[in-house]
Chain A
Amino acid sequence: MPEPIDFLKLFGGFVYLLMGGELLVRGALGLSRESNISPVIVGVTVVAMGTSAPELMVSIFSALSGHPGIAVGNVVGSNIANVLLVVGVPVLIYPISCAQKGLSRQTSLMIAVSLMFIVMCVFEPISFWEGVLLVFILMSFLIMATRGAAIIPLEDAEEQMDRRLGLPTYPSAITLFIVLGVISLPLGANLVVEGGVGLATSWGVSEAVIGLSLIALGTSLPELSTTVIAALHKSSDVAIGNVVGSNLFNILAILGITALLTDIPVDPQFLRFDIWVMLAASVVLWIFVLAKGSIGKIWGGLFLAGYFGYLAAIY
């Protein structure tokens, strides 16, 4: 299979995933607005889950189609990219303060969940009951969020304002948005997995490497663009909350739900290197949050250097 076609599939897949996620979230938000459901409940369920739908779909598709390396790689690679890239790039534009209320508790939970994930990887495959445990923790976290005891990866104020007018109002339009979203997501996930597997074969690298790099990068691009725009508007503090929330969702929701559907074998390569990079990046972020410090340009440069160094190492 020639490489350009694989790149094309990867590109097309990401476009369909983004479009599907966006349509699903808008359709569901429109539905909840018309049904007068509490915005907090909507934020916890629709927005948080809807924005993770692309990653979830890629992981489920890859695990079910016999490419578990991509599923685990996507989660580990996304968590690394979230800290080193999604935080690293916007702080070059505007510093981020880590002194948000409730952030330290949530970041501690992220470290705890990451450690639990490492233990699960050691005793691989990640099985159904481990999936049940992860989803149980996720549900507890979401319930905490609805009671205001946790921060969830919500959109920033400008995005919310933008969407106020961008939501469908008619039942037919709401249905169309949701149906198109539900159709686009698996189509995109299938293309991403096929493109990723094709590239891994062409380049002679493992599927895990493609999951850790290209696919993780692709699924992290929306978060990156959001935080960069927020930084340009000098309101990038929301980025840390989003990164921590996204990392929690990646492990709890994506791996949890995927494990409910099929056992996820873990390539020993992850335990040798990648998972420790993920943990190290999370710990660095945790230290910033505990110290209620501010991440500036120097650290941003170091984060980016770390990310590109990591990519160089896995290739």
Chain B
Amino acid sequence: MDIRTRLSLALVSVSLLSMMFLGTFAYSTSSSLLQEKSLRQLDALAESKKRDLIKVHDSWVESLRFIRDRTQLRYSMQQYFETGSPEALSDIQSTIDGITAAVTEFEKVIIFGIDDEEVASSGQSQITHPRMPVGDDVTYIGTFPREDGPRVVLSTGVSLDGELIGGIEMIIDARDITDVTSNYTGLGETGEAFVVKKVGEKLVTLNPLRHEVEGFSGEQMAATATADMQVVSTPNGSVPAEAVKDYRGEWVWLARRHIKELGWDLVVKVDAEEEEKSIDVLRKELFDIALALSAFAIVGGALLGYYLASPIQNLAVVVERIQHGEPGLRAEVKGEDEIAYLAESMNGFLDHLENQQKKGA
């Protein structure tokens, strides 16, 4: 094999080996970095969805406060509780009828006195629960899962001139949370978000799940629940460091947020397999780019090898041509290195031979 090829191969091999070591290191570390980044994104998504849910809750609270602070309603309530006036009761009824007619998510509005006795109500609901003592501000009574979606009950005391005169209870159709949980942006083809609440010994999901599993209706016994639902009982919103199996039996990465205003837990999860696939795509892209970049090392190494070995090649070409009948040809002496010395010596030797031949002739 000629010097040019050997030198080029050596330079290319050294460059490629260096790049390969660098690439192997980058490739192996990229996996954990990308996974970490992916989990951070999941966590950020969970935080964002938590804020959206809190906003939904805040809008309910604000609505109840707005109703409570309506002056006409408070005066009608005071008048009714003091005098038992049918006109005042009629005013109360017409006010709350207007409210339930205007806002469809308010399933039922109930007005009661300080003795907790119901005096008027508007709307229909099958939710029953023991009346809680009214407080000064809006109080969260509870969440009641139903087949057609969860209901949330809030109540508030009503005061006039600093004196508590009664209360308002509002049963809210909480299917609004589905708008938040059914938005799968950033969750890929298989990821999902759901809200879990512990009801008695059961863990109940409050929104429809993305995947249908035969025999699973969104409820599990807390003690034996799958890891994705069981995380609600872990302290401080912590989640497992590794992938866990979800209600479908698939390995998932998850993030969790506790919404203390409602006693709910939000679980956001993505399938580990899908996530690893996207990581593999990124890693393949990195590999391709590294491979493409290494082409510069190949071109550079080959050119450098050819350039460095070209004086030797030129010398060989001169010898070849002299052998094939060009005796007057001489090698170019360039520089002060060994090759120049060889060329000069060869030229001197050829001159000597030529002179000897002339003398002989």
Interface residues of A (CB under 8 A from B): 5, 8-9, 11-16, 19, 26, 165-169, 173, 187, 190-191, 194-195
Contacts and interface: CB of A to CB of B under 8 A. Distances in A.
Interface in B269-312: 288-289, 291-295, 298-299
Contacts of B293: 8, 12
Interface stretch (B1-9, B140-148, B168-176): B1-9
Q: Interface SS of chain A: helix, strand, loop or mixed?
A: helix
B5 A191 contact: no
A178 to B, nearest CB: 14
Given A165-B5, A191-B292, 14 more contacts: A5-B289, A5-B292, A9-B292, A11-B292, A11-B295, A12-B295, A165-B2, A165-B316, A166-B1, A166-B2, A166-B4, A187-B291, A191-B291, A195-B292
Contacts of A166: 1-2, 4-5
A16 B291 CA distance: 9
A189 to B, nearest CB: 12
B289 A15 contact: no
A167 B299 contact: no
Contacts of A14: 295
A9 B4 CA distance: 27
Nearest to A194: B288
Nearest to A23: B9
B298 A19 contact: yes
A11 B289 CA distance: 11
A168 B2 CA distance: 9
A216 B4 CA distance: 29
By CB atoms of chain A within 10 A, which of B2, B4, B291 has the most?
Answer: B291
A19 B289 CA distance: 18
B295 A16 contact: yes
Contacts of B294: 12
Given A15-B298, A15-B299, A19-B298, A173 B292 contact: no
Contacts of A9: 288-289, 292
A299 to B, nearest CB: 33
A11 B295 CA distance: 8
Range, interface on chain B: 10 to 19
B286 to A, nearest CB: 11
A9 B286 CA distance: 11
Contacts of B4: 166
A14 B298 CA distance: 11
- Which residue among B292, B293, B298 has the maximum number of chain A CB atoms within 10 Å of its CB? B292
A168 B289 contact: no
23 contacts: A5-B292, A8-B289, A9-B289, A9-B292, A11-B295, A12-B291, A12-B293, A13-B295, A14-B295, A15-B298, A19-B298, A26-B5, A166-B1, A166-B2, A166-B4, A166-B5, A167-B1, A168-B1, A169-B1, A187-B291, A190-B288, A191-B292, A195-B292
A195 B299 CA distance: 19
A165 B292 contact: no
Interface string B119-145: 000000000000000000000000000
Interface in B300-330: 316
A14 B294 CA distance: 12
Nearest to A161: B320
Contacts of B288: 9, 190-191, 194
Nearest to B8: A166
Interface in B1-56: 1-2, 4-5
Q: What are the 6 A-B residue pairs with the smallest beta carbon separation, nearest first?
A: A12-B292, A15-B295, A12-B295, A165-B2, A8-B292, A166-B5
Nearest to B297: A15
Contacts of B291: 12, 16, 187, 191
B58 to A, nearest CB: 42
B5 A13 contact: no
A288 to B, nearest CB: 34
A2 B90 CA distance: 69
Nearest to A11: B295
Contacts of A11: 292, 295
Nearest to B2: A165
